[in-house]
Structures are given as structure tokens and as C-alpha cells.
Structure 1
Amino acid sequence: MLTLVSGLAWTLVYLEAIRIGLRDRTYAMPVAALALNFAWEVTYAVVELRGGPSAQGVVNVVWALADTVIIWTYLRYGRAELPGFVTRPLFAAWSGLLFATAFAVQWLFLAHFGTHDATRYSAFLQNLLMSGLFISLYAARRGPRGQSLLIAIAKWLGTLAPTLLFGVLEGSGFVLGLGVLCSVFDLAYIGLLLRSRADPSR
């Protein structure tokens, strides 16, 4: 049940991020977290499907395809949010370096920890990064443009469910600690979005 809740919640995050990005002509997920997410999904889709079809492998492929659309919104609209000295070639080089680094990080986790631990440790660490970056995105844009309460709540629930599964039921203190920190940042972000709804001038 917890796995199902997490899967559905994260699917909502991706679909809403696509919708909001296209509506507001921007990208709706912090790009560093987006790069790590995409690299995680591609890497572990290959790992999962290498031994034959599996439910998680198929889900990873679906998530990676959704992330591809979010990446397109970043490439299409992202440069406009940067200072003028960031030329198209510089933006392309920076983006390439960022995504290449994200894949390298995932492969280093996999090589060092093995599949079982790497999938969890990398997922929760990049999830914590994403939680903090959403708050930074709100601050940088001076409000909720390109963001949504549905993304914030679904992300929180999508992380809380595996925190309970791996951190509590399976007894991983490391995962539990990271999951609790994610919830702290996620709830703070939800609070920011609720505040902006109550008073759009803030």
C-alpha cells in the first residue's frame, strides 16, 4: 500500500509539473533535482529490466518519459530566467554538464553501495535536495510562478510513504532521518504556497 501511494503521488508530481510548466512557460522542478531524478530513473530502469520485465522497471521508464517532457520545458524556457550573459552555447554547455554529472553521481552510488542500498540512499538524498531547492525556487521567482500546491503535497506524500516503509517498517535509521528532514522542508514549502494563496502580494 505504501509503495502504491508513493508511486501514485510521484506520478501526480510529474504530470502536474508538466501542466504547470507548459501553462506558465517555465520549468516546474528545480533543474539540479530534475537532472538527478532523470538519471536515477534511467539508471534503475536499465538495472531493473536487465533481468526481464518488472513492475518497478516499467514505472521507472514511465517516470523517465515524464521527466523528459519536464526537461524539454527547462531547455525551452530556462535560459530566459538567467542573466543576459548566459548565451545559448553557455546554457547548452552548462545543461550538458549538469545532466552528465547527475548520471555520474548515480553510477558512483551504484558502484559503491550496490543496487539495494544505492537506489534508496541516492533517492532520499536527492529528494532532500529537491525539497530545499523548491523553497529556493520560490524565493528566486519571488512567488509561486511555475509551482503548485498539488506538486508540493504530492511530493511530500510521495516521500513520506517510502520513509515509513524503509525507515520505520524496515528499520533504516539513515532513511528515516533523511525522510524526516524531507518532511520538514516539504511542509515549509507547502506553508509558503498556502501563504501566497492567502496573500498573493507575499
Structure 2
Amino acid sequence: MELFLTLVSGVAWTGVYAEAIRVGLRDRTYAVPAAALALNFAWEATYAVAELRTGLSAQGVVNVVWAAADIAIIATYLRFGRSQLPPFVTRPLFTLWNALLFGAAFAVQWLFLAHFGMHDGVRCSAFLQNLLMSVLFVALYAGRRGRRGQSMVIAVAKWLGTLAPTVLFGVIEDSPFVLGLGVLCSVFDLAYIALLARDPAATGD
């Protein structure tokens, strides 16, 4: 069951990333909110190294695949992101902001790892930033006043990709903290799915 849920999460999140790359290039924008993207990349890079240092594992391989996909999404963000900001945000300022953003994201992951250790750090940081991503996707829809750079595939796959580890760590491993955060993620993920479902333009993804 553990391997099955890990693979479900891996396939679903890989679907999120593949679709985010496609939609970002199609709409000439980025399809994952910047703060969530930075935290995700930092998490995947950090824990891919940590997992693979102890030997080959399904989650370690999945993390490597996700980190590679994140690099492509980051490329769409760096290419198209500045054009969606006010004119006073020059390229040097945009570069400085991104250095701070991604630097802070890695610092957060390392602090979680140092304070909580591998077992709890990987779970606590993952579900906290997953909740942030769920909220930010709703904010992205509201901020863009529609589904530009978004799709139902991303929304549904993100929900399923979070639901599987919620069952694994929250229910099977009996972690009320993870279960609570996972339930909150589902609330916002389902709200986001409902927003896209009500938008006629989103049905043609």
C-alpha cells in the first residue's frame, strides 16, 4: 500500500509539472505560483539528495524527477514572470528578488531538516508548503481574473497528488498533524477545481 500511494502521488505530481510546463509555454506565463514553486524546488532538491544518500528508493527517484520538472517550470517563470510585474521592476531587481526567494526557500527546508530531522522534517515542510500552494492557486485565479496559465489537469492532479500522501502519512501512519493539513489542502484544492469548473474557458484544457 505504501508503494502504491507513493507511486500515485509521484504520477499525479509529475502530471502537474508536465501540464504546468505545457500551459506556461502555451499562455506565455508561469503556471505555478512563484513562492510555491521556489519551496517545491527546494524541497525536492533537498530531500532527493537526503533520500538517495541512504540508498535507492522510490521516493528518492520521484523527487529527482520532480526537481528536474521544476527546473523547466522555473525557466517559464524566469522568462515570462517579469512582464507581469509593474514597470519599475527592472531585470536586476527581478533577479535580486528571485535570488532572495529561492535562497529563503532552501533555507526554510534546511531549517526544517535540522530541527525536525528527516522523518518529521520531510512531512511537516511538505504539507505546510502544500497548503500554501493550494491557497496560492486560488489567489492566482483571482489575481489573473480567469484561467490564464492554469488548467483543470493541474487542479485535479494536484489534489490527487496531495490526497495520496495524506492517506499514507495521515491515516495509515496515524499523524493527526499531517491529516489535518491534508484535509485543509483538499478543501482549497476542491475550491480551486470548482472555480475552474465554473469558468467555461477552462473546459477546453
Unaligned runs of 5+ in 1: none
Aligned counterpart, 1:90:
93
**Selected match of 2:27 from 13, 24, 27:** 24
Shift of 1:4: 1.6
The residue correspondences of 1:8-23 to structure 2 (distance < 5 A) are 8-23=11-26
1:155 to 2:152 alignment: no
Aligned counterpart, 2:198:
195
Shift of 1:131: 0.2
Unaligned runs of 5+ in 2: none
The residue correspondences of 1:1-202 to structure 2 (distance < 5 A) are 1-197=4-200
Aligned partners of 1:189 and 1:199: how far apart in 2? 12
What SS class does the counterpart of residue 4 from structure 1 fall into?
helix
Aligned partners of 1:18 and 1:103: how far apart in 2? 22
Aligned partners of 2:160 and 2:56: how far apart in 1? 27
Contact 2:152 2:202 in 1 (8 A): no
> Under a length normalisation based on structure 2, what TM-score does the superposition of the two structures give?
0.95
What SS class does the counterpart of residue 27 from structure 1 fall into?
coil
> Under a length normalisation based on structure 1, what TM-score does the superposition of the two structures give?
0.96
What SS class does the counterpart of residue 125 from structure 1 fall into?
helix
Shift of 1:55: 2.5
1:118-161 deviation per Cα after TM superposition (whole angstroms, max 9, x unaligned): 11000000000000000111111110000000000000011011
